[in-house]
Every structure is written in C-alpha cells, then in structure tokens.
C-alpha cells in the first residue's frame, strides 16, 4: 500500500472514530467554546424532512447547493451520483468543495482534449466538480467541472 492510500485509510479511521465518539456524547470533550449546554445529548430521534431528502435531528438543517443536472458557471451540467467530497479553505476565506461523481451516460458536452482518459472518443463518465462557496459557507460563488474522463475514482475529492 503506498503512502497516499495509507494516509487515506488512516484519516478514514480517525474520522470514523470521531463520529462514533460524538454520537455517544463524546462531543463534551470539545464543548468548551460551545454555547449549548454540555449536558445536551441527542435523543436519537430524527424529524421528518418535508422535502424527503434528509431526516435530521432537532436544531440541525441543510441547504442544497447543487443538484444533478444543474447548470454550472462553466456551462456544463453538474454530475450525478456523488460519492465523495473534500473541502478546502482558499486564500480569500472562501471554501472549495471538490465533489467526486460518476454518471451512467457519457456527457457529450465534455471536451475530449481535457479528459483524463476516454473510451471510443468520449471521456469516461467520472470526474469531479468544484463548488466554491463564500466564507459564510452557504452562498454559491461558482461551480465548474474540475476533472473529467475518470472511472471508478470513489476516493472522494481530496485525492
């Protein structure tokens, strides 16, 4: 296993451990600056989402930034079947979300000349899109295809 795979596996294990810790109330360890009482525990109940996307605990919310097929600022459609993501803070304070995705059908709008790899003259269906958010983390600044022509690259946007 090369170093990048080792690092990925190490971080995946650390992330899983942190999620389990927080799920069982371990978040109190990091609650010093949190205005919510450190005695607050999640009761395990999820509230039904009227949009039927995510059922979340009370006081949690989400915002859809892009949906499959949405037009991005580069004129390409946002890819489908997202299966991994990485977040990076940019120098100006904005945040870049690099989203890995696969599509069932080859996107005829992609340029073969910029594709990492192709099949019969068309780019492979996988790749990444980069969504840049303002520093508030909720306002879309721009979105573009950042990689095309890959296949089965399910490691997320950080690789």
Per-domain boundaries in the chain? 1-62, 82-150
- pLDDT of 26 > 50? The answer is no
29: confidence class by pLDDT, cuts 50, 70, 90: very low
Instruction: Kindly give the pairing relationship between strand 126-133 and strand 140-150.
Output: antiparallel
Structure-model confidence comparison of residues 14 and 80, the more confident one: 80
Q: What is the mean pLDDT of the chain?
A: 73
Tell me the β-bridge partners of 98: 86, 130
Q: Which residues, 6 or more positions from 123, have their beta carbon under 8 angstroms from its beta carbon?
A: 106, 107, 110, 111, 112, 115, 116, 117, 148, 149
- pLDDT of 14 > 70? The answer is no
- pLDDT of 28 > 50? The answer is no
- pLDDT of 141 > 90? The answer is yes
132: confidence class by pLDDT, cuts 50, 70, 90: very high
Which pTM value belongs to this model? 0.62
- pLDDT of 36 > 60? The answer is no
């Amino acid at each position: 296993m090369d170093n990048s795979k080792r690092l990925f596996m190490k971080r995946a294990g650390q992330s899983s451990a942190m999620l389990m810790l927080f799920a069982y109330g371990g978040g109190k360890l990091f609650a010093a600056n949190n205005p919510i009482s450190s005695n607050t525990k999640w009761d395990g109940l999820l509230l039904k989402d009227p949009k039927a996307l995510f059922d979340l605990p009370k006081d949690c919310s989400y915002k859809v930034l892009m949906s499959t097929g949405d037009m991005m600022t580069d004129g390409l459609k946002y890819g489908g079947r997202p299966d991994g993501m990485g977040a990076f803070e940019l120098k100006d304070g904005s945040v870049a979300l690099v989203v890995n995705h696969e599509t069932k059908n080859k996107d005829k709008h992609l340029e073969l000349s910029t594709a990492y790899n192709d099949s019969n003259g068309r780019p492979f269906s996988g790749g990444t899109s980069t969504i840049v958010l303002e520093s508030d983390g909720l306002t879309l600044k721009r979105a573009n295809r950042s990689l095309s022509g890959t296949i089965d690259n399910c490691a997320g946007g950080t690789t």
